[in-house]
């Protein structure tokens, strides 16, 4: 059975953001603007994305 995944893109700059937001971006594996990562769709990943909505967006929801 295939795991559900989501594609997350960094849309905002990490410059002038606090350390917690830097750490969240690093935890998601995002280091540059417009970079995309395919991540497993888990509650922890969804929570990380929800905590920085001004910096990232979910591009695609794969099943």
Give the CATH class of 5-62: alpha beta
pLDDT for 1: 57
pLDDT for 61: 82
Its pTM stands at 0.88
Cα torsion 50, 16, 7, 42: sign: negative
pLDDT for 63: 63
Q: Which residues, 6+ apart, have CB-to-CB distance to 61 below 8 Å?
A: 4, 6, 41
Q: Which tens digit of pLDDT belongs to each residue from 13-63? A: 999 999 999 999 999 999 999 999 999 999 999 999 999 999 999 998 876
């Amino acid at each position: 059975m295939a795991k559900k995944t989501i594609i997350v893109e960094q849309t905002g700059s990490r410059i002038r953001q606090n350390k917690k937001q830097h750490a969240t971006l690093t935890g998601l594996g995002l280091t540059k603007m417009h970079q995309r990562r395919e991540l497993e769709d888990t509650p922890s990943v969804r929570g990380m994305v929800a905590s920085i909505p001004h910096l990232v967006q979910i591009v695609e929801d794969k099943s």
